[in-house]
């Protein structure tokens, strides 16, 4: 796949956001390989640092990855009602979510279940600020199908983060009700599941249907969104799901025990997440709140 032309990378929509495309000026291509599962590309851009693209779609850039990675992890980890010890990340081969999960001192084990080892290798070489936590002794990297792995670990994880790519090709199964059931069974009582859930501006009907599916499996599911300039529509969201009908996913139960007690170095490393932004991210614009029944 040759997605760059005359010094510019043009994102391929794959049918998910026809009618628009993100373009980034390329300084140099750093890594390009067709893996068993997808086309893996890393290039140095003019304005966003190094960029990871899979099958022609941008997954992360050094400039704005902090927004997605921090919110994908800290929303569920602070929402869970107890000190989390075990976390499973589905996808996320760039390592950014692993880095953020490790900022919670209670963590004893992080399983990164990334089916494509080429993504991990590319990240280790060219995305060091994201992949820096992969060598931590608490981290276990599994190159396997996430659903199959979770079926072998029922009632085990405190938090599961589905850091998957868009719902096409091999990632489609990670948006299915069967997969959500597998995730629920892999969680401990009062566990939290977080699902990457696309953008309000382009996929609102899809998000609405996804939320309905999740609500059939979990006791509550609420949508939160984050500013991501390099994602189509400029926003990306998560459906944070609770296994307890009395545990509102938008309520940050562990703010006092985590964020407010962070040492200055760790708090300074947070570029996007704040305690106030945690709550604000669940307050949706009117058109989306009405569609998702989230007021």
Same domain, 136 and 55: no
Q: How does pLDDT run across 154-176, given as a tens digit for each residue?
A: 999 999 999 986 655 555 677 78
When pLDDT is averaged across residues 105-115 and rounded to a whole number, the result is: 97
Same domain, 186 and 246: yes
Same domain, 202 and 253: yes
Same domain, 43 and 178: no
Q: How does pLDDT run across 189-242, given as a tens digit for each residue?
A: 999 999 999 999 999 999 999 999 999 999 999 999 999 999 988 999 999 999
Q: Rounded to whole angstroms, how far apart are CA atoms 114 and 18?
A: 28
Contact 262, 256 (CB under 8 A): no
Looking at 20, 42, 59, the residue that finishes a domain is 59
Q: Which residues of 182-216 are buried (b: 16+ CB within 10 A; e: fewer)?
A: bbbebbbeebbbbbbbbbbbbbeeebeebbebbbe
Same domain, 183 and 169: yes
Total count of domains within the chain: 2
Tokens representing residue 226 in the block: 């984050």
Q: Is 163 a catalytic residue?
A: yes
Tokens representing residue 64 in the block: 């704005």
Same domain, 96 and 31: no
From the candidates 94, 163, 166, 213, which is the catalytic residue? 163
Instruction: Return the pLDDT at 3.
Output: 55
Same domain, 92 and 218: yes
Q: What is the CATH number of the domain that holds 75?
A: 3.40.50.150
Same domain, 154 and 36: no
Q: How does pLDDT run across 27-83, given as a tens digit for each residue?
A: 999 999 999 999 999 999 999 999 999 999 899 999 999 999 999 999 999 999 899
pTM: 0.94
Same domain, 240 and 95: yes
- pLDDT-derived band at 1 (thresholds 50, 70, 90) equals very low
Tokens representing residue 210 in the block: 């996804």
- The whole-angstrom distance between residue 111's C-alpha and the CA centroid of its chain comes to 14
Instruction: Return the pLDDT at 175.
Output: 77
Instruction: Return the pLDDT at 79.
Output: 95
Statement: residue 127 has pLDDT above 60: yes
- pLDDT-derived band at 17 (thresholds 50, 70, 90) equals confident
Q: Rounded to whole angstroms, how far apart are CA atoms 238 and 292?
A: 13
Indicate the helix (H) or strand (E) that contains 201. Answer: helix 200-217
Q: How does pLDDT run across 240-283, given as a tens digit for each residue?
A: 999 999 999 999 999 999 999 999 999 999 999 999 999 999 99
Domain coverage including residue 37: 4-59
Q: Rounded to whole angstroms, how far apart are CA atoms 9 and 21?
A: 10
CA distances from 67 to 75, 100, 141, 235, 294 (A): 12, 11, 23, 10, 22
Residue 245: count other Cβ atoms within 10 Å of its Cβ: 9
Percentage of residues in the chain with pLDDT exceeding 90?
85
Same domain, 16 and 125: no
Looking at 43, 59, 75, the residue that finishes a domain is 59
Bridge partner residues of 60 (DSSP): 52
- The whole-angstrom distance between residue 227's C-alpha and the CA centroid of its chain comes to 13
Same domain, 102 and 204: yes
Q: What is the CATH number of the domain that holds 13?
A: 2.30.140.10
Same domain, 181 and 113: yes
């Amino acid at each position: 796949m040759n997605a760059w032309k005359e010094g510019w990378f043009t994102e391929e929509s794959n049918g998910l956001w026809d009618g628009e495309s993100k373009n980034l000026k390329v300084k140099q291509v750093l890594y390009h390989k067709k893996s068993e599962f997808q086309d893996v590309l890393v290039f140095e851009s003019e304005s966003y640092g190094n960029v990871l693209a899979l099958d022609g779609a941008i997954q992360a850039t050094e400039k704005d990855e902090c927004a997605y990675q921090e919110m994908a992890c800290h929303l569920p980890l602070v929402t869970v009602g107890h000190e989390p010890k075990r976390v499973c990340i589905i996808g996320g081969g760039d390592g950014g979510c692993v880095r953020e999960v490790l900022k919670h001192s209670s963590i004893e084990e992080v399983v990164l279940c990334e089916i494509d080892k080429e993504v991990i290798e590319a990240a280790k070489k060219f995305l060091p600020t994201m992949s820096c936590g992969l060598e931590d002794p608490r981290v276990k990297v599994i190159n396997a199908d996430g659903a199959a792995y979770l079926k072998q670990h029922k009632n085990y994880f405190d938090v599961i983060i589905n850091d998957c790519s868009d719902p096409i090709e091999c990632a489609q199964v990670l948006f299915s009700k069967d997969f959500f059931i597998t995730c629920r069974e892999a969680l401990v009582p009062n566990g939290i599941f977080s699902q990457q859930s696309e953008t309000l501006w382009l996929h609102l009907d899809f998000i609405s249907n996804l939320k309905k599916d999740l609500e059939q499996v979990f006791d509550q599911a609420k949508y939160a969104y984050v500013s991501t300039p390099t994602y189509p529509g400029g926003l990306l969201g998560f459906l944070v799901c609770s296994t307890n009908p009395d545990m509102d996913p938008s309520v940050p139960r562990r703010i006092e025990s985590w964020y407010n007690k962070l040492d200055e170095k760790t708090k300074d490393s947070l570029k996007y997440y704040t305690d106030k932004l945690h709550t604000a991210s669940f307050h949706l614009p009117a058109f989306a709140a009405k569609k998702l029944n989230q007021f």
